[in-house]
Amino acid sequence: MFEKLNKKMAVSSQHHKRGKDMEVKIVSEKENPLLKRREVYFHIQHNQTGNTPSRLEVRNAAATALKTDVNLVFIKKLETRTGTQTAVGVANVYESIDQAKLVEPEYIIERNAPPEKPKEKEKG
């Protein structure tokens, strides 16, 4: 029984590499037709970077692994397991950006936005 389960788990999980620094492993993917999104659970091995990668890097890596537009991917949760180089996360992948703005809370949208460059003050 456990052999079948292990084989099934091995088949269902996918490995994707992003350069030499990060490896994205899709653990599970659930379709949510009511909210017009996919809910994705993933693990990231970040041995070379040392610390937890930024949300923006993870978002780009997840979009590449899922073969979708980066603007449709929203990282909901990301945390590194204590004492390891593995981060566990949850992402929502929407069918359209309008649907994402309708469903996702404002703070999640702000967290996933690229950081703005500070404006330079003009000298008087």
Given a cut of 60, whether residue 101 has pLDDT beyond it is yes
pLDDT at 123: 60
What is the tens place of the pLDDT at every residue in 26-63? 999 999 999 999 999 999 988 876 678 889 999 999 99
Q: Is residue 5 part of a domain?
A: no
pLDDT at site 121: 63
Residue 33 within any structural domain of the chain: yes
The owner of tokens 């949760």 is 77
The count of domains in the chain is: 1
Q: Is residue 119 part of a domain?
A: no
Residue 37 counted as domain residue: yes
Question: Is 118 part of any domain?
Answer: no
Q: Count of CB atoms within 10 A of residue 71's CB?
A: 13
Residue 19 vs residues 70, 75, 86: alpha-carbon distances, Å: 17, 20, 16
Instruction: Identify the CATH number of the domain in which residue 88 sits.
Output: 3.30.70.3370
In this model, does residue 83 exceed pLDDT 80? yes
Contact criterion met (CB below 8 Å) for 93 and 72:
yes
Domain hosting residue 91, numbered range: 11-112
pTM of the model: 0.74
- Say if 52 falls within a structural domain: yes
